[in-house]
Amino acid sequence: MSSMRNAVQRRNHKERSQPHERAKWGLLEKHRDYSLRAKDHNAKKRKIKALQEKASERNDDEFYFGMMSSKTRGGIKVSDRQQDNSGGQQGSGKSLSHDVVKLMKTQDCAYLRTVLQSTRRAADKLEEGLTTLEHGVPTSTTLNGKKVFTDDGDDIEEGRDADGDAEDDIESLDDLLALDQLDAQALQSKGLSKSTDQNSADRKRQHTIEVRQRQLEVLRERQSDLTVALREVEDQRARMSGTAGGVNKNGTKFKSRQRQR
């Protein structure tokens, strides 16, 4: 009988939607949704009522031995480092030894150095790309090519003269500038202006430059923050190991040094 009932075509179940003016609130709330909210609300009311009754029946002269080892600040319980917040046994949150803390500081320094190095590398790469985008001239002067060693041991780039590299670069830049000036003069003589496509390309280029400048500022700011944090952790390690210097009461600077064996 159940197989016949399952074989019969059934009507698809559809959730009743909200009216058109309330469509932004999602599906229409059913009675089961209201029941869940009502149960949660009543449970919270019972908890609040129980707390109020406990507070009203509190005895000011009540004493527990746990009160001797606990303290409050502004009505809020404050736990020590060797005691968890739930008032557990002493020593449940043990303090770390001096050697363990020094090891943790070492790991912190290594992590900060790694992040600082990657941030500095990303900032330098972004700055190089930004300079290229602004001026149209690559800042890198090295080429990824093969090196040819002469009899004297000097290495030069393959296919280029070691003495004439700078002169060739200057001549090529002068040629490009001269061509740009000729093009500008030709446009001015003909009375032509930039096309709409050129203006759009210039706006996109300027927008890209502004975005990369903001990214570069964020990276530089993060680099400075990491540098300050790394310096502070290194100072803490030095103070813990007794190698940090300071200023005595006479105003003389000193530096502690470990005795060499």
Per-residue confidence (pLDDT) for residue 93, from 0 to 100: 52
Tens digits of residue pLDDT in 107-134? 888 888 999 999 999 999 988 888 888 7
Asked if the model's pLDDT at residue 198 lies above 60, the reply is yes
Domain contains 214: yes
Give the 3-state secondary structure of residue 215: helix
Domain contains 125: yes
Domain contains 10: no
Per-residue confidence (pLDDT) for residue 45, from 0 to 100: 98
Question: Cβ(78)–Cβ(71) under 8 Å?
Answer: yes
Please tell me the total count of domains within the chain: 1
Q: What is the mean pLDDT of residues 203-219?
A: 88
The model carries a pTM of 0.42
CA–CA separation, 117 and 123 (whole Å): 10
Domain contains 196: yes
Domain contains 206: yes
Q: What is the mean pLDDT of residues 75-83?
A: 71
Per-residue confidence (pLDDT) for residue 176, from 0 to 100: 57
Asked if the model's pLDDT at residue 51 lies above 90, the reply is yes
Amino acid at 176: L
Asked if the model's pLDDT at residue 24 lies above 90, the reply is no
Domain contains 191: yes
Asked if the model's pLDDT at residue 62 lies above 60, the reply is yes
Q: What is the mean pLDDT of residues 187-209?
A: 72
Q: What is the mean pLDDT of residues 233-261?
A: 70
Domain contains 8: no
Per-residue confidence (pLDDT) for residue 143, from 0 to 100: 47
Domain contains 188: yes
Per-residue confidence (pLDDT) for residue 86, from 0 to 100: 44
Structural domain boundaries enclosing 172: 98-138+164-240
More confident residue, 47 or 161: 47
162: pLDDT confidence band, cut at 50, 70 and 90? Answer: very low
Share of the chain above pLDDT 90, in %: 15
Per-residue confidence (pLDDT) for residue 47, from 0 to 100: 97
Asked if the model's pLDDT at residue 153 lies above 80, the reply is no
- Please provide the DSSP assignment of 103-156 as one string: HHHHHHHHHHHHHHHHHHHHHHHHHHHHHHHHHSS-S-----S-EEE-TTS-EE
Alpha helices in the chain (DSSP H): 2-7, 31-56, 66-69, 98-135, 165-190, 196-241
User: CA-based angle 69:71:72, to the nearest 5?
Assistant: 165
